[in-house]
A and B are shown apart, each in its own frame.
Chain A
Amino acid sequence: MSLVLEGVSRSVEGVPYLDNINLVCERGEFNVLLGLTRAGKTTLMRVMAGLEPLNAGRVLEDGVDVSKVSVRKRSLGMVYQQFINYPAMSVYENIASPLRLERLPKADIDRRVRDEAARLGIDHLLDRLPSELSGGQQQRCAMARALVRDAKLILLDEPLVNLDYKLREGLRSELRALFADRDTVVVYATTEPEEALILGGKTAVLHEGRLLQHGPTAEVYRNPVNTTVTQVFADPPMNLMQARIEDGQFYVDGREGIELPPHLSHLATGHYTLGLRPHHLFASDRGQGSVSLVGEVEVAEVAGSVTYIHLDVNHRDWVVLERGVHTVHPGARFEVHFHRRHLYVFDQQDRLVASPDSELGQ
């Protein structure tokens, strides 16, 4: 089925939660809703489910307006951030409950419950109560209940957030396979850009109730439509700086003109915002074509095999991602180097006009 949102708006007591959202999700698609907390992800999912009334707009399923259809009459499954199960029922009964309400034959229910439990690796726990399971197993049970119906729409609202790191990785790697052969619209909300990239499919970037961009995940990552997307869909976010482009050169604070790289050569004279990803910044000179800027170290975080060095560059917060463990002292002068070919450029209307991976506007 296809799920279409047309001009959906939702506000509660004057506070807007969703502002004119237009979104099309096709069957068989894995859609990631990416946004910071309070971006409106949960509200959007609740609208899709029919749990939240709309102030404006329509929700269409296969071309039929379902905005007013009760959630009980719709075909959907939902998994929440908390592990929501029916504590008085065994895992088996939990998974079977949506099927029982559809009045399917007993043998049919039994087969589907066992199949689904096996796919989620909880088939040995069917006789237990949810409270006797670990967090990961409880979430698997909730997921099995959402999936067992073969619903047209599956909503996953940050389902992995309450799991510890190891369990999260395990379940996440299974997720794509779980949905691979299902003819259903899957919507997965998360705050973590990394999760969107791992899960692939399509990504919709939400910010303050507005939909900024929707498209294939890699495409959205490579060509963020504006600087807000670069902040939401990248962790650490993209480093930005103001620049002026004139006569085939660009000017940044504290630097004389630098020759434009080929992918920026078409840009007209004017003011722009330049962006660089943290892993495209280096602590050492990168040779031919590399440019350097000077900043001041604010703090350095060592995270396993990489070090995040936070800098103040021309009064903007920048993050440099360096391989290995580095010791730098706050307050120290720090020279960062980058290749011009890695530059993203946004115009004064905050629209992407050039990115390293494509020749926009040409």
Chain B
Amino acid sequence: MLKIGVPSKGRLMEKTFDWFGTRGIAMRQTGNDREYSGAVDGIDNVELVLLSAGEIPRELSAGRIHLGVTGSDLVRDKLADWPAQVAELAPLGFGHADLIIAVPAAWIDVDTLDDLDAAAAAFRAAHGHRLRIATKYHRLVRDFLTQNGVADYQLVDSQGATEGTVKNLTAEAIADITSTGETLRANHLKILSDGLIHQSQAVLFLARAADWGAAERATLATLCTRLGLTAPADL
């Protein structure tokens, strides 16, 4: 049995169902709309597993599901060396969001990472601690700042309402996802001109660690043909 993990609620679930539906594979919730169980019609030997989108990377990594739909940002942030653990089968064209770095709009002296780095050095000298960046995307943000040679910052964890951390004086800058930028503007923040860390969208991932027996491979081949995809050659 080939298990597909799909977000268990909201627009991500609906859009995922639509994506598969237009390709002849019907996914649906079974029971009432609060019950997390589902079914797949139009292809045999595929089981639908409804999961929180945030847990799908972990389930892929553990190989408890064969395929999974989740944001590319979550996979890159939660999985170390993600290409070794999962393969991207297809970008699904929805769930678009940009992971960006934003600073107060009134920082007229800061527009780029280069400015952020220099401002961080001066801030540390003046305030006695490193410039704090609030985020929940620790790996992605740290790797990005390391690659770009930004120093004298520290990451502080923020699992929600991240845009408010600057006003609340728990951070000086933030790294978060945004689609329209409205929440940023409402909280007096602006995006650095070179502060785009990752353009995320929903992606159908394949778990390398899953149990790929002959039956699962055959089902995957059928599924890929139906969806117009190519299975990774190194599976």
**Do chains A and B stick together as partners?**
no
Q: Which chain B residues have a beta carbon within 8 Å of chain A's beta carbons? A: none
Q: Which chain A residues have a beta carbon within 8 Å of chain B's beta carbons? A: none
